[in-house]
A and B are shown apart, each in its own frame.
Chain A
Amino acid sequence: MAHKNNGSNGHRHAAGKPTRYSAFGLFRRGLSRSDWPRAWQERPLKSTYDVVIIGGGIHGLATAYYLAANHGITNVAVLDKGYLGGGGSGRNTAILRSNYLTPEGVRFYDRSLHLYERLSSELNFNVMFSQRGHMTLAHNDNSLRTLRWRAEVNKLQGVDSEVIDPDEIKKLVPYLDTSTDTRYPILGALYHPPGGIIRHDAVVWGYARAADAHGVHLHQNTEVTGIETAGGRVTGVRTTKGDISTPVVVNCTAGWSSLISDMAGVDMPVTTSPLQAAVTEPVKPFLGTVVVSGTLHVYVSQTDRGELVFGASVDPFTSYSMRGSLEFAEGLAGHVLELMPAVSKMRLLRQWAGLCDMTPDYSPIMGPTHVDGFHVDVGWGTYGFKAGPVSGEAMADTVANGRPPEIIAPFGIDRFTTGQLVGEKGAAAVGH
């Protein structure tokens, strides 16, 4: 998961002109045996920027990219205390889908899916988006009811989503145990053909490279230690590499976001919990779709390399620790075998954890705050990777035009004082 380099050492290139990746280029470089140029540059930290984005995950990098590409705002710095994609963006299970529960949610995530569909060509970077279908199983009448509800909301928003029965499930995923004498028999599933998986690191690197090409500064190993305000406005940011003055700060720090908001004097309805995942040794392809079970709190997909990737729900307490636990691996194995007894001989290769910024209604918190110039793009919980492109687009729009666009209006921080929550728990309780 954790790749720290950004391509091999090689020639530098001028801003605005990244090397174009192509089959022909690959062939030519194979013959000449020269190094590939760096995908992005290390530049000196300036003392002033028009916009400072805290957090070099997909949300921060996408925001930087769309600020430059859609609005021509390029005097921008992205700061990360570690390396780009070292947070949730490099630790997630890379599932994309838009079959949410509320109309606001479905509309929002579907816009993201559409941006993802053309991301490889837009960024000239292969993000390996595989729309192999996504299936959420129901093991009791209650969840079947929620799935029907979701299917109807989805269809009204033009999203391909329907409830299918155990026979159809068996056809799509023959290795699932669809017999009726199990502890949690499968009664039906919500099937969402456009959902799938993607190469998460490639998305991060693709946005970083494209933002860098527009002149955005990417500063790794640069931790924000304070935020300066004066008269209710943001005026600057303090970092371990020096102070920066700026009129606009965007908080894209996910699991750490309430600590950053605290620095600006903005309270958040957020708690941080670890979410764990695990991967097995690779085997031949046998699992063509993503399979999720809310009742068993588990989901599984098979990567292009053949490994099974498993995820679950967040650890049952808050913490900033990213250590995995044996309880997780044990519980996960039990639940997976309940669904697919055939994989009992497969071995787990590794497990890991990332931090999730959970909100009370399982929806994000996006837009301006009561501190002028301090914007948040947080509350991404266990589901924010799929939202990267639309969030970047919308946050760039917010910064450029001074107010949030319609598509993120429901996700403002004010909803927690007015009571207008956007309840997505029914579609987001199992983390993916």
Chain B
Amino acid sequence: MIQLPCPWCGPRNASEFTHHGEVTSRPDVGTATPEEWRRYLYFRQNANGWVDENWYHTAGCRRFIRVRRHTLSNETEAAR
């Protein structure tokens, strides 16, 4: 079982959370072309290594948290 370091609730099992995936940067809604928008929606780095990602603590504090996780070993550490 993966444990995630929730800054509000402490270390909790990953099954309490919803995975929202790697941190991406959202283009400006007003100026983005459809192509840029689709890139943002669909394309991912999908790295094999340390990744910054967003999780939602569904069965806990119900806040979004940012976690650094190694996608091969599943070790985690709190992101900055």
A and B together in one complex: yes
Chain B contacts of A326 at CB under 8 A? 1
What is the CA–CA distance of A272 and B18 in the complex, to the nearest angstrom?
Answer: 16
Q: Which residues in window 346-379 of A have CB below 8 A to B?
A: 360
- Taking the complex as formed, is A70 at the interface, i.e. its CB lies under 8 A from any CB of chain B? no
Task: For residue A110, give the distance in angstroms from its CB to the closest CB of chain B.
Answer: 27
Among B1, B14, B21, B48, the residue within 8 A (CB) of A259 is B48
Most chain A Cβ neighbours within 10 Å, of B15, B48, B73: B48
Chain B stretch 33-53: residues in CB contact (< 8 A) with chain A: 34-35, 38-39, 41-44, 46, 48
How far apart are the CA atoms of A356 and B74 in the complex, in Å?
Answer: 17
Chain B residues with CB below 8 A from A320, complex form: 48, 71-72
Does B21 lie within 8 Å of A271, measured CB to CB?
yes
Q: Is the CB of B46 within 8 A of A318?
A: yes
Q: Of B34, B39, B44, B74, which one neighbours A321 at CB under 8 angstroms?
A: B74
- Asked if residues B43 and A318 are in contact (CB atoms below 8 Å), the reply is no
On whether the beta carbons of A419 and B34 are closer than 8 Å, the reply is yes
Q: Is the interface of A mostly helix, strand, loop or mixed?
A: loop
| Cβ–Cβ < 8 Å partners of A268 in chain B | 43-44, 46
B contacts with A, residue count (CB < 8 A): 22
A271 and B19 CA atoms in complex are apart in Å by: 12
Interface residues of A in 299-334 (CB under 8 A from B): 316-321, 325-327
**B46: contacting residue among A272, A316, A416, A417, CB under 8 A:** A272
Q: Which of chain B's residues have a CB closer than 8 A to the CB of A318? A: 19, 21-22, 46, 71
A:147-189 near B, CB below 8 Å: none
Shortest CB-to-CB span from A66 to chain B, Å, is 28
Residues of B within 8 A of A317 (CB): 2, 14, 19
B19 CB contacts on chain A under 8 angstroms: 316-318
Residue of A267, A271, A360, A417 near B35 (CB, 8 A) is A417
List which A395-425 residues lie within 8 A (CB) of chain B.
Answer: 416-417, 419
Q: Which residue of B lies closest to A323 (CB)?
A: B74
Q: Which of B1, B22, B44 neighbours the largest number of chain A CB atoms within 10 Å of its CB?
A: B44
Binding site for A on B (CB under 8 A): 1-2, 14-15, 18-19, 21-22, 34-35, 38-39, 41-44, 46, 48, 71-74
Query: 22 A–B contact pairs at CB < 8 A?
Result: A258-B46, A259-B48, A268-B43, A268-B44, A269-B42, A269-B43, A269-B44, A272-B48, A272-B71, A316-B18, A318-B22, A318-B71, A319-B72, A319-B74, A320-B72, A321-B73, A325-B1, A326-B1, A327-B15, A416-B38, A416-B39, A419-B34
Closest 5 CB pairs of A and B: A317-B19, A269-B42, A258-B46, A320-B72, A416-B42
